[in-house]
Amino acid sequence: MAVLTLVTLRWHGHQKADQLDEAEARDDFDRLTATFQLSTLGLKETLKSWANWTELYDYVVDRSTSRFLEEELGAVELAEAGVDFLTLLDLSGHVIGMTEVPGVGGDLPATEEMIRQSVYFSAYVKSSQGASGCGAIKARTQVAMVCFGPIFNSQGQGHARGYIALGQWVNEDTIRRVSQVTGLMFDIVDVPTQARKEPPPATAAAMTSNMFRKDAVQVIEHDSQRELELRSPLTGLLGQDIAEIHMRWPRRLRQMVDTSSDITEMVVLTLIVLSGALLMLLLDRVVVRRLNLLRVELASIVDSRRWAGEVSIRGGDELAALARYTHELVLIVRQQVQELEDLSQTDALTGLPNRRAFDERLEHILAQYARQKLSAALILMDVDHFKKYNDTYGHPAGDEALKVIARCLRSALRRELDLPARLGGEEFGVLLQGVSAEQACAAAQHIRLAMQELALTHVANPPLMVMTMSLGVAVVTPQDTATTLYQRADDALYQAKTQGRNRVHLA
């Protein structure tokens, strides 16, 4: 989008700059041609003073008595006056004298051309009622400026006695002078002159002293559009295009537009790149890094398998809100997992640890025993004639009795390390740590008595007619596994049952 805008801006800038450049170039071209024409002023001044020169006047009137031309207006004198050639004509337009500063190899190109055109000068001056004029001619391939006018006496009065034409080549010096004055670079380029079919003009109106035609200016683009060239034909006195003036003109505005567009584009592109980088940095700081931290923290929570760990991302944005909710979710799940774990380890009826919790603890105690030889014992206990109790008082009463037994068991155990559990049905167990066989049997007796002292009526349990328990005790030995320890305690319990119930038997 930005690139498209920049391209459009540059294109618009070019359009505007091209218009202004061309208008300015045309103005400069007008200034150049005007200056070029003004450069003939010197020649005109010389013409004016020479046309009123008494000796010249006299010479034109009577050439037989004087060698004026050779003596006063020879090539040396012309050169000193800045004139390249001179032609004198009588009133009928016949050449009566010519002088030319010779060119390369003594060549006199103007002389032959002036002879050819002499008739037009006199015709022009006659029709313009004595006014002088200036214009361009071409001799061979060279352009010259020519000024011409009638010859009067020194007072400039009376009738003209002849005509004088003065010429000056448009050479490199002329071009350099005009270039310096205008500050514009140009060239005069020869063009083949078309042969005229109609007779040449013979009046002031038809002959033109205006060498340049504004309407014929051609604008050409050069050097990948960094330069303009303005071309216009240079019109000779007889109305023919005798050469062309070529002016080269640097398109300053277009170059300025290019330069400023380059700078703008560079600045804009740099800004785009910088803002992109800044955005990436910000994105990295605000989003990517924190997302990564969240990922690592969540992975660690998942790896722990226990929903342990923290989500630490803080802030007031959406990501922080997401992290906060995730943290709360983890806390809820952690709590629920804990509740499920507790449930899975607890007997629903009595609230005592269940068989699973009891077995885990037993494995732990056995491992500890293996490492540290810490003594431990297992008590298995079974309510006596519980079936009959159910049968007598009903199953719900049986449930209530099991709850009472559980409470009794808890209160009978004084040490925190002692773990009571309901192992299933009307069977309970206790794990004791750091006890000898005697201490374990004492603890079992204490439980039995506590149970008996509850005096929970059980008519089907003679002879006491109260709820009692039989207990089997097994002390952990180095050879014991959970299975063997259970087996020995169970055997002891069986013994207690078979020996009359409401008693403790040590395995």
The amino acid occupying position 410 is R
In this structure, what token pair is assigned to residue 32? 């150049």
Closest approach, Cβ 321 to ligand GTP, in A, equals 49
Q: Which stretch binds ligand GTP (CB under 6 A): 26-34, 61-69, 356-364, 384-392?
A: 384-392
Query: Which of 98, 242, 365, 402 is the binder for ligand GTP (CB under 6 A)?
Result: 402
84 touches ligand GTP (CB under 6 A):
no
Task: Give the span between the Cα atoms of 161 and 200, in whole angstroms.
Answer: 25
403 touches ligand GTP (CB under 6 A):
no
351 touches ligand GTP (CB under 6 A):
no
113 touches ligand GTP (CB under 6 A):
no
347 touches ligand GTP (CB under 6 A):
no
Q: Three-state DSSP class for 455? A: coil
399 touches ligand GTP (CB under 6 A):
yes
Q: Is the peptide bond before 463 cis (omega within 30 degrees of 0)?
A: yes
Task: Give the span between the Cα atoms of 372 and 427, in whole angstroms.
Answer: 30
452 touches ligand GTP (CB under 6 A):
no
459 touches ligand GTP (CB under 6 A):
no
Tell me whether residue 257 or residue 383 sits nearer to ligand GTP (CB atom). 383
* Residue that has been written with the tokens 């003009």 in this structure: 201
Closest approach, Cβ 340 to ligand GTP, in A, equals 22
Query: Which of 84, 113, 347, 382 is the binder for ligand GTP (CB under 6 A)?
Result: 382
Tell me whether residue 40 or residue 468 sits nearer to ligand GTP (CB atom). 468
191 contacts 242 by C-beta, under 8 angstroms: yes
Closest approach, Cβ 380 to ligand GTP, in A, equals 12
Query: Which of 152, 386, 428, 486 is the binder for ligand GTP (CB under 6 A)?
Result: 386
424 contacts 467 by C-beta, under 8 angstroms: no
497 touches ligand GTP (CB under 6 A):
yes
Task: Give the span between the Cα atoms of 269 and 271, in whole angstroms.
Answer: 5
Q: How many CA atoms lie within 13 A of 399 on its CB side?
A: 7
How many residues bind ligand GTP, per CB under 6 A? Answer: 16
Q: 482-498 vs 355-372: helix axis angle to the nearest 10?
A: 110
CA angle, residues 262, 268, 274, in degrees to nearest 5: 130
Tell me whether residue 276 or residue 351 sits nearer to ligand GTP (CB atom). 351
Alpha carbon separation from 405 to 188, 215, 368, 429 (Å, rounded): 132, 127, 30, 12
83 contacts 102 by C-beta, under 8 angstroms: no
Task: Give the span between the Cα atoms of 208 and 216, in whole angstroms.
Answer: 16
Closest approach, Cβ 349 to ligand GTP, in A, equals 6
Closest approach, Cβ 391 to ligand GTP, in A, equals 8
Note the helical H segments in 305-394: 318-344, 355-372, 386-393
Closest approach, Cβ 422 to ligand GTP, in A, equals 9
Q: Which of 410, 417, 421 is nearest to 439 (CA)?
A: 417
- Within 404-433, the residues that bind ligand GTP by CB under 6 A are 425-426
395 touches ligand GTP (CB under 6 A):
yes
Task: Give the span between the Cα atoms of 386 and 389, in whole angstroms.
Answer: 5
Tell me whether residue 402 or residue 507 sits nearer to ligand GTP (CB atom). 402
390 touches ligand GTP (CB under 6 A):
yes
Which residues of the shown chain bind ligand GTP in the complex (CB under 6 A)?
A: 349, 382-388, 390, 395, 398-399, 402, 425-426, 497
